[in-house]
Structure 1
Amino acid sequence: MSELRILLVENIHTVAKERLSAEGFKVDLISHAPSEEELLKLLPNYDVLGIRSKTEITAKVIEANKHLLGIGCFCIGTNQVDLQTARKWGVPVFNAPHSNTRSVAELVIAEMISLARQLGDRNTQAHLGGWVKSAEGAHEVRGKTLGIVGYGHIGSQVSVLAESMGLRVIFYDIVKKLPLGNAVGKATLGELLAESDFVTLHVPETPETKDMISKIELAWMKKGAHLINASRGSVVVIEDLVAAIKEKQVGGCAIDVFPEEPASNKVKFTSPLQGLPNVILTPHIGGSTEEAQYAIGLEVAESFRRFLRIGSTSGAVNFPNVDLPVKQGTSRLLNVHKNEPGVLGEINGIISKAGANIEGQYLSTDPQIGYLVMDVHSAQVQNLADQIGKLDRSIRTRVVY
């Protein structure tokens, strides 16, 4: 197990490498997001891969590297990974859904105040030698209404911060959520948009959220209201937002995510929103604080450690979740197989024929695969794993200790 090799890309916080190296794993860290072609060259030399949001793990990459034990997304989203293909070949995918919550929420609050006071424009003018000292168009946020679309971990944290500053908070979510503080849920998106002075988006990237804010929804907004998007770049139709700002239907916006983003800091960024009044553009930095990146590094590194050392898949987004304590005096064998009748019987038949004693056994399934964890007494545990791995319906079998 100490010889397992892990590749971390996209400047993942060094604390992840430190923690995994301390466990005896061989860890390499690179700063950029590898292309599909580069991944095809790199991954044959590694057992586990850690990425952030820009590295695309396609079906082609996974099919060519079926030996991969696991993939970690050192971020919230996992849409950059072909989760179905990873599951098909027994590769659990982990992420860090909570570690940057506070960082994103604080940025949203800062952007809301900046839009209300036109700080972006005033700052630019001052840098250029202008002195625009005027109260016209500048407002306090206290007493205004903040509409939150998506009341999950980040949305609810924004809700708490905003209410403490004296804002009225309303929210809309397709799943019924318990309001925090005095926040009030709205039955429809249109109702929320019509009432809000500020609208902030906190939704995942799904077919349902693609282009969910277009010219229709922008027309529903209160005239002069402000829009903040720190969720996914596919959620807002940028061209429609540009038109709404030029027509002064929308009073300003703060956009942190874009439909197309540069692959690295060396690539020039362009957007139709550039040069418009009261528009704040940030380079996908919602979760880019040292505190958040440190916490994300720890969270996913711990998921890797527990999976590689004891077979825990707790927190995997595409895999049956199993988390069992270590059973002293036994060997632990893991098996991923097609979820079809009779597989467990075949496996137990092999164990029984070898005369091994099963001290503990746990099977968790989803519609496609089964994940089996077995603690056995046997000096021939690797031989057992080899036999089980040869079953027609086995996908992956390994011994963790």
Structure 2
Amino acid sequence: MSSPVPVSGAVAESSSNAVTLSTSPTISAHSPGSYFGSMNRRLTSSFTAPPKTLKPFNTEDMKVLLLENINKTAIDILNQQGYQVEVYKTSLDEEELIEKIRDVHAIGIRSKTKLTAKVLREAKNLVAIGCFCIGTNQVDLEYAARHGIAVFNSPFSNSRSVAELVIGEIIALARQLGDRSMEMHQNTWNKVSAKCWEIRGKTLGIVGYGHIGSQLSVLAESMGMSVVYYDVVPLMALGTARQISTLNELLSVSDFVTLHVPQLPETHNLISGPQIAAMKEGAYLINASRGNVVDIRALVNALSSGKLGGAALDVYPNEPAKNGPHFVETLNSWIPELVKQKNVILTPHIGGSTEEAQSAIGVEVGTALTKYINEGSTIGAVNFPELSLRPLSADEEGHVRVLYIHSNVPGVLRTVNEIFADHNIEKQYSESRGEVAYMMADIADVTTSDIKTLYEQLYNTPFRIAIRLLY
């Protein structure tokens, strides 16, 4: 197993007025010791009273596990909260991951770590997952939601980095730079201009006009390209780009086709034999989205026959779990054929791998995790109802914030509000998403004894998934 990287910073001190409860081991739910959180929250206005520091319901410390070399910006944010942060530079195999995840309250990963139902089943204290990347297909989102585990990601922060990589690949393919560079490394001088092009005046077809696709559109136009795009929903064009009504129409008019779509059943093998046949002779294909979007055997056939002039791939159906000589035939059977093709750029899923992108992702996801842990805010969660309450101020004494995750069925809020009946509910919001619902409430004029009673009563409600109390 990889050795953890030491992280400096003191562990959060236990709250002197925390309540300790025992829980029946036969009940499948987060124990009271799983609930925690301490943070000085920012003022919403310079004219409000100082914010109140929310304390944990129990004295157990917050434990965070970060895998896959998460950026230092995230480590600093989490460490500043006083959490116990353990950092690994690599992913862990399933056995190691199961052993580690049993004891943590939050975990941060990138694209290599697979948080399956089998792994998450062992995570008895886990309340939050941070995906420090765009994608979340490496997490069983449905299982996580049903067990009260919120999942956060970073859908925007690496958009520019991916767009710039694609621009570089467009130029490299047009000039056959990969082949010329490889030849020079092998002491071969091969100065040619045949089938080498400027990109000015060429047409770029973008499949998926989201954050990356639209940024790429602007960059490509600034270099003199004409831009068309296809998306399943109508989207406003930037610059002089125009939306095409069908995928085949886009493929037929584009000199370069670049893919920026999520991994869904509908996008599996989105580009296969028939779609490649619809492309222009000598066109180029670029995939920096998800590995299963392109039928790579069909791509290899098109490259071998000369139908396509080249391709650039940054993602693959199966990717190695760690760096090293692991991009081999046992991983994907077509690899030996693919690597022999001319004018093909292969990169190891580095679209968002820039210092700037990883720093921004660290801030975005690290902040989302602390806001959920410390305040209960689920803004930005991909598998949970999105909900937030304004911070409590320092002069609001005797308050408790109730975070109640439950099954989305009739009668739950009536049951909960009967428990709250003898207290003043100052703020209460509820939101549902599929089978899961989430309620946040600030209850006033409570004592330590009241908090203990509220917890016990809420814990025994029939449709409870998980509870946290912050005060």
- Shorter-normalised TM range: over 0.9
1:149-180: CA deviation from partner (whole Å, max 9, x where unpaired): 00000001100000011100000011111111
Residue 342 of structure 2: aligned partner: 277
State the AA in 1 paired with 2:365. V
| 1:347 equivalent in structure 2 | 416
**Alpha-carbon distance between aligned partners in 2 of 1:161 and 1:389, rounded to the nearest angstrom:** 54
Displacement of 1:34 in angstroms is 1.8
Please say if 1:389 is aligned against 2:459: yes
CA shift at 1:189, angstroms? 0.6
The letter of the residue matching 1:320 is: P
Distance in structure 2 (CA, Å) of the matches to 1:383 and 1:135: 80
Amino acid at match of 1:13: N
Q: Tell me which amino acid in the other structure corresponds to 1:162.
A: A
Give the structure-2-normalised TM-score.
0.83
Whether the 8 Å CA contact 1:144–1:167 is kept in 2: the answer is yes
Residue correspondence of structure 1 range 144-155 to structure 2 within 5 A: 144-155=202-213
- Offset of 1:400 from its aligned partner? 2.5
Query: Could you tell me how far apart the structure 2 residues matched to 1:61 and 1:133 are?
Result: 54
Contiguous gaps of at least 5 residues in structure 1: none
**Aligned counterparts of 1:244 and 1:6: Cα–Cα separation in 2:** 47
Task: Output the CA distance in 1 between the equivalents of 2:470 and 2:94.
Answer: 30
State the alpha-carbon separation in 1 of the partners of residues 198 and 324 from structure 2: 38
**CA distances 1:181-228 after superposition (whole Å, capped 9, x unpaired):** 111111111000000000000000000000111111111100000000
Alignment of 1:1-400 (within 5 A): 1=37, 3-270=61-328, 271=335, 272-328=337-393, 329=396, 330-352=399-421, 355-377=422-444, 378-379=446-447, 380-400=450-470
In the alignment, is the contact (CA less than 8 A) between 2:102 and 2:124 conserved in 1?
no
| Structure 1 vs Structure 2 CA RMSD | 1.1
CA contact (8 A) 1:170 1:184 kept: yes
Matched AA of 1:220: A
SS at match of 2:468: strand
How far residue 267 of structure 1 moved from its aligned partner, in angstroms, is 4.1
SS of residue matched to 1:305: helix
CA distance in 1, matches of 2:304, 2:470: 60
Preserved contact between residue 382 and residue 399 of structure 1 (Cα < 8 Å):
no
Deviation, 1:302, is: 0.4
- The one-letter code matched in structure 2 to 1:311 is G
Alpha-carbon distance in 2 for matches of 1:7, 1:301 = 12
Deviation at 1:67, TM superposition (A): 2.4
Question: Taking structure 1 as the reference length, what is the TM-score of the superposition?
Answer: 0.98
The 8 Å contact of residues 35 and 56 in structure 1, kept in 2 or not, is answered as: no
Shift of 1:63: 2.2
Q: Which moved more, 1:220-229 or 1:258-267?
A: 258-267
Please say if residues 70 and 362 of structure 2, whose CA atoms lie closer than 8 Å, have aligned partners that are also in contact.
yes
One-letter amino acid of the counterpart of residue 282, structure 1:
T
Conservation of the 8 A alpha-carbon contact between 1:66 and 1:89? no
Q: Tell me how far 1:275 sits from its aligned partner.
A: 2.1
Q: Is contact 2:286–2:312 with CA below 8 Å preserved after alignment?
A: yes
Q: Name the % identity.
A: 51
Looking at structure 1, the residues matched to 121 and 460 of structure 2 have their Cα atoms a distance apart, in angstroms, of 19
Contact 1:261 1:269 in 2 (8 A): yes
User: 1: distance between equivalents of 2:135 and 2:89?
Assistant: 19
